[in-house]
Structure 1
Amino acid sequence: MRLPGTRYQEPGWEQVRKLLGQCSLEVFKRCDPGELLAPAPAGEALALYVDLLAECLHAAGRSVRAQAAGNSYGDSVAELALLLAYELAARPSDWAAFRTALAGEHARVPGFWRQPGGEALLRKKVNDMFALLRDKVDADNYQAACGRPCSPNRIYAYRMLDTAYGEIARLFGNWREHRVQVGAILGRPLETALPIEVRQLASIAGCRPEWILRWSATLERFTGSPGPLHTRSKRFDSLKDNAVKIGEMLAEIGEYETLSANRDRDWLQDADTSAAWLEDYWRVLDESEAGSGACGTPGPDLILDALEDEPDAARAAEPAEPAGAADGEPLHAQRAQSVSLPPHFVIVAGAAQDPGSWSARMLADDSLAVRLAVYLKLLGPDDDSYPDAWRDPATNGLPTMAQLAALDAVSLPTLRKRRDAAIARLSAAAPSKGRNE
């Protein structure tokens, strides 16, 4: 979701949150959380925490997670995390609330961060602190951009409505499987024909407020948990049974989504294309000037004339040269770049797995693409156990099956066949592994 002035409301927030949690745990290894609860002034503890957190964020700045896109404005995950850390330094009340939460857990279980599961609880407290802080920061920036009052709770409500729209769109996309629930959302029983509303819902701007209300009302029936507008929580009191206000907020999200739809990508793409064209032009010109006496290479203005004079049959008989071969790039680098992966992805990712692990030994004879396809099938694209070197910087998850097939220069069906064969070997060997280890 994009709103004027906001930077933390898009899917990249999940990686910002994880990076802040990861680096905070590093800080607490260098500075025991007990020191944060000492009677010393809270300002000194906050300054120490922010300084150490900034050091850890800078140290992690070259990781795949840190360099991933944090939002569609061009901010990286590392940049957003660092900015939020400095925002914390300017908002001591959020730090005080964090210390109070730590003190409460410490009073219940002294030194809980040293107990089994304590590290996860400590990380959750950090995540809660930064989640509240990001909505405060975005609310302030929204007010500055629009000149309208906005509270952190309103930002939360915007995000809830955007999430609700996404869930409604998913149900509409699979309306046959969710016929009863979609009918309840639309307010009428569905026939066998495609509902016109399903075909017309192209963006959040086309989502009707009554659908949001009915969707929330259906959740307890279909999922067992009440919807956000049908709980006893007062967080969304202003939206409960208020279709007019919901409609205004949906329209605002949709309007800004339309205004910022290009997200500067068209202009940036043209800029990249122009830069690449100029680089090629000057390279050809330099090669022409350097080699014209020795090999008669035509100048750039004569290249087309030379091609026109060359017989079609002769040109067709020449083998096609792969892209990048003239520059001496390895084949694996060419394939990686062709699917928007780093040039050295195959080498770095291949060395990232622990060679002594059972799965690495079992899959040692398979290519990197097949191994990653196995993990993609068994664990999904974004398991926390994956090394950063395996991740696509654009998504921070494993490459897709299409990308992996291109790395191996095979078709998707072939890659699937090899993946399934590898999974079958793992399944067959699993019982003997359990007996031997």
Structure 2
Amino acid sequence: MRLPGTRYQEHGWEQVRKLLGQCSLAALARDKHALLLEPDQESSLAAYVDGVSRVLYGCGPRGAALGNSYGDTVLELALSLVVELQARPGDWAGLCAAVAAEHARMGPFWNAPGGEALLRKKFNDLYAVLRDKVDSDNYQAACGRPCSPNRMYAYRMLDTAYGEVARLFFGWREHRAQVGAILGRTIEAEPIEARRLRSIADCRAEWILRWSESLEQFGGVPGPLHTRSKRFASLKTSLDKIAAMLREIGEYEALSANGERDWLQDANDAGAWLEDYWRVLDESEQGASPGPDQILEAQQDALDLACAGDGDEAQADMRAPMLDVVLAERVSLPPRYLEMAACAQEAGSWALRTMADDSLPVRLAVYLKLLGPFDDSYPAEWLDPATGELPTMGQLALLDGVSLPTLRKRRDAAIARLTARADAGMKEET
């Protein structure tokens, strides 16, 4: 399954999961399991990350396999998830609590028969939850729409359900009764729906609901939409939501499945295109205006002349606002947004002095967290004209050139410094 911003939802996840489980056990070998029972979980997490990273780097050809359709290897995906774990100590605390409970019941269970498999499963569960948190955050940053880890899990369930429906339709002769239950009619010949079902975008929401309902009769266990679990409660009674999610998966898979085919087709016409290009430039030299590349070169020459003698620092100062314009346009903000927002800051404020080493997007994220998207104290230059509020966390992450989890981590660190300074000031006054 492919969705914008996600990297862990494809078939390569199985190899990533197995590699993380295997390397986690290797990193804890030789009596290092006590790390999981350490009261100082911050130190134990740092030690685990260091150990498992070294083992991962030595995993050999297994890590070189592709982990998804975007070109990320199994090793790259595994290492990225380990780094994310270090930024989310709460997930590590949950693992340690589960291990401690098992240890209190059975003692050092990892030394017992089957104990390593039990410990590996706990690591597998840890990373399975973590991958949905990471992918849901990245989906939000890519789309600007809310997405919880549970919703990411629901996307994957629907993708799996579609695969099962497609399998049953393909083998309709062997599964005639169940296909009939899914379609809501008796099947005598090949159903036309089986021929038309070419992708998940062609799958109907009612088929998913009936497939889940049919599992208890034909598989012996309730389907995911017919258990007592509340995980899919919002989908059980909403065919519209199921249809929209199926359509979204299908549309993005169709978009991202193009690969390089369009570019290969363009390559066949490259010679003719270049001939036209040079012809246009030749004609433009003889006409009233220079060609497009010459215009850009002239602008760059003017920039270089303006910066001559000032060194690289002067050139960087002139090009930084140009970069700000590009970033602002990517997130639908006014040109030179970062420059104007920076000039509007209150130069002498203690908050600004405390956050002097933080980037402007991090400072705005702090205000967004503490004061909300709108406050009378905000300068107009800080606000997004489209909403009249501060930019969203997704916009600020793009402006800062970091992922959403990284921006949150830097924001929280800045808030902690502000709180510590405010507390220190109160103590001095008393």
Q: TM-score interval w.r.t. the shorter chain?
A: 0.5 to 0.7
Task: Determine if the alignment matches structure 1 residue 89 to structure 2 residue 69.
Answer: no
- Residue 236 of structure 2: SS of its match in structure 1? coil
Deviation of the 1:119 alpha carbon:
0.3
The answer to whether the 8 Å contact 2:63/2:75 transfers is: yes
Deviation of the 1:122 alpha carbon:
0.5
Match of 2:253 among 234, 252, 257: 257
Deviation of the 1:231 alpha carbon:
0.1
The answer to whether the 8 Å contact 1:34/1:111 transfers is: no
Q: What is the correspondence of 1:278-427 to structure 2 with a 5 Å cutoff?
A: none
| More displaced stretch, 256-265 vs 98-107 | 256-265
- Compute the TM-score of the two structures, normalised by the length of structure 1: 0.60
Q: 2 CA distance for matches of 1:34 and 1:266?
A: 55
Residue 220 of structure 2 is matched in structure 1 by: 224
Change (3 A) 1:49 1:170: same
**Matched positions, count:** 268
Change (3 A) 1:2 1:141: same
Q: 2 CA distance for matches of 1:270 and 1:173?
A: 36
The answer to whether the 8 Å contact 2:35/2:48 transfers is: no
Match of 1:76 among 73, 78, 92: 73
Residue 27 of structure 2 is matched in structure 1 by: 27
Q: 2 CA distance for matches of 1:141 and 1:31?
A: 37
Q: 2 CA distance for matches of 1:73 and 1:268?
A: 18
Q: 2 CA distance for matches of 1:152 and 1:30?
A: 35
Residue 427 of structure 2 is matched in structure 1 by: none
Q: 2 CA distance for matches of 1:52 and 1:239?
A: 42
- Compute the TM-score of the two structures, normalised by the length of structure 2: 0.61
- Residue 45 of structure 1: SS of its match in structure 2? helix
Deviation of the 1:196 alpha carbon:
0.6
Change (3 A) 1:257 1:15: same
Residue 348 of structure 1 is matched in structure 2 by: none
Structure 1 residues 40-96: Cα deviation after superposition (integer angstroms, max 9, x where no partner): x21100000000011000011x22x21111000000000000000000000000000
Deviation of the 1:266 alpha carbon:
6.1
Deviation of the 1:241 alpha carbon:
2.3
Q: 2 CA distance for matches of 1:196 and 1:181?
A: 16
Q: What is the correspondence of 1:137-286 to structure 2 with a 5 Å cutoff?
A: 137-191=134-188, 193-264=189-260, 267=263
Match of 2:129 among 120, 129, 132: 132
Q: 1 CA distance for matches of 2:51 and 2:262?
A: 40
- Amino acid of the residue matched to residue 15 of structure 1? Q
Q: 1 CA distance for matches of 2:226 and 2:265?
A: 45
Structure 1 residues 250-280: Cα deviation after superposition (integer angstroms, max 9, x where no partner): 0110110111112346648999xx9xxxxxx
Q: 2 CA distance for matches of 1:249 and 1:127?
A: 27
Q: 1 CA distance for matches of 2:42 and 2:50?
A: 12
The answer to whether the 8 Å contact 1:69/1:76 transfers is: yes
- Amino acid of the residue matched to residue 79 of structure 1? E
The answer to whether the 8 Å contact 1:73/1:263 transfers is: no
Residue 114 of structure 1 is matched in structure 2 by: 111
The answer to whether the 8 Å contact 1:219/1:227 transfers is: yes
Q: 2 CA distance for matches of 1:35 and 1:142?
A: 33
- Residue 232 of structure 1: SS of its match in structure 2? coil
Deviation of the 1:35 alpha carbon:
2.8
- Residue 239 of structure 1: SS of its match in structure 2? helix
The answer to whether the 8 Å contact 2:16/2:78 transfers is: yes
Deviation of the 1:28 alpha carbon:
1.0
Deviation of the 1:38 alpha carbon:
2.4
Alignment RMSD:
1.6
Q: 1 CA distance for matches of 2:8 and 2:31?
A: 28
Task: Determine if the alignment matches structure 1 residue 59 to structure 2 residue 58.
Answer: yes
The one of the two structures with greater contact order (alpha-carbon pairs below 8 A, sep at least 6) is 1
Deviation of the 1:150 alpha carbon:
0.4
Structure 1 residues 344-392: Cα deviation after superposition (integer angstroms, max 9, x where no partner): xxxxxxxxxxxxxxxxxxxxxxxxxxxxxxxxxxxxxxxxxxxxxxxxx
**Structure 2: tracts of 5 or more residues without a match:** 271-430
Report % sequence identity: 69
Residue 36 of structure 1 is matched in structure 2 by: 36
